Amino acid sequence: MPVMLRSLKKVADTSEKHAVFLLSTAATMLAAGVLIGYGIWGSVGESEDAGSAKGGPGRSGPPSTPAMLVRVGTVQREQIAPTRTLLGDLIPVRTAAVATEVPGRVAEVFVDEGSTVVGGETVLARVDGTWETLQEKKIAAQIDQANATLRFEQAEMARLKKLLNQQAASTSEVDAKLAIIEQTQASLDELEASLQEVRTRMERLNIIAPFDGEVVSKHTEVGEYIAVGAPIVDIVSTGRIDAKAMVPQQNLSLLKLGDAIAVKLDHTDVEITGNVVAINSKGSLDSRTFPVRIALDDQNGRLKPGMGVSLDVPAMPPSTELLVPRDAVLTKPDESVVWILEIDTRALEQNPKRDTPGKPMTTRPVPVKILSHTAEQFAIACVRTADEAALKPGAQVVTEGLERLVPGVPVRIDADGQPLVAVPGSYPNGQQMVD
């Protein structure tokens, strides 16, 4: 019995503590709710008072729409020569595998890959000329011997002629001596030609660069034995470099020799203007394209063979069209749109006595059709006839900030040179807000 009484007492104490805990929690939550409600009510009151103090409608009035910053360009009507961008490569004007004309051991090599050479001056390599020197001495000695023999035979011929006049020698003896003299003279001429050949080979022991250029590969080293025609180095020309592109046949008729073509180097901002120097008549039967070469200056070696380029070639004959900056056209899969700047007549009617300078402006989208393009402009035409009166030369179109425009929203032209940056604001599209 005492044990049961103690258990009941323990249960009662636990229930009492649990009830106290629940009451304390409820009281705390009630107090917090009162404080939060009071704070919200006070904030609302302050907002209404602030609105009333400014002379506005307070909480019940509609919020004003701030102007969106935009930049604009002007619509023009000018002649345009539409272009088409093609891919091409830079190729050297001349390439040579410089070879030796003299066989022998390579004594010296004076250049490496990347070396710059001057045509007619730079010595690329030298072949050992020991054997040519010995051959020269040998032939020179043979020539001296032949000259001595020739002088002796000529003297004998003179004596025979005297004897012939005295009838002491026969005509056949004179003819035989004359044949010996002619044979000796022929042998002497042959030896002199051989000597000239040896000396020419000796002059060509030094292998000279054939034109101004750069060494792109080396095929031999000192100590190697090379035969006649063995390549020493490969050279590509410098100074002028050509851009080569395959032009479709529909564009080929719009090109002619001497035309100026803008060529842009891939992955850089380098753009160079060159002239068409060759239009090859032999094209590709598969692609119906024809190789065209444009001569360029290599910019002191900055442009190198093998670099990729893009070039704009005429796509259609020149025509007069409406032109807008490329940034003014918002292209979509279904249609292209330009946003035209207009006076906000609704804002003028609501507030005719504006204190701010200038007239309120807004924008609206105008569907357009892209006819052609250049590197910086689009030639366009209105899709709807009703828009032609607004989209005319002199009209202003948005070039920056048009991705976030909404029809009828006030805009303000920003003349600052810095890019427009969208920052978080109360406007739904995230456009930077202007007070």
pLDDT band at 428 (very low <50, low <70, confident <90, very high): very low
Q: Give the type of residue at 23.
A: L
Pairwise CA distance, residues 435 & 429, whole Å: 17
- Domain residues of the chain, as ranges? 68-80+318-413, 83-93+241-314, 95-208
Q: Give the type of residue at 322.
A: L
Which residues are CB-neighbours of 80 under 8 A, at least 6 positions away? Answer: 318, 319, 320, 321, 323, 372, 374, 377, 379
Domain spanning 68-80+318-413, CATH class: mainly beta
Per-residue pLDDT, averaged over 278-285, amounts to 92
Q: What percent of the chain has pLDDT over 70?
A: 77
CATH number of 83-93+241-314: 2.40.30.170
What is the number of other CB atoms lying within 10 angstroms of the CB of residue 224?
11
Cross-strand pairs, 106: 127
pLDDT at 72 (0 to 100):
92
Answer yes or no: are the C-beta atoms of 404 and 420 closer than 8 Å.
Answer: no
pTM over 0.85: no
Per-residue pLDDT, averaged over 166-183, amounts to 86
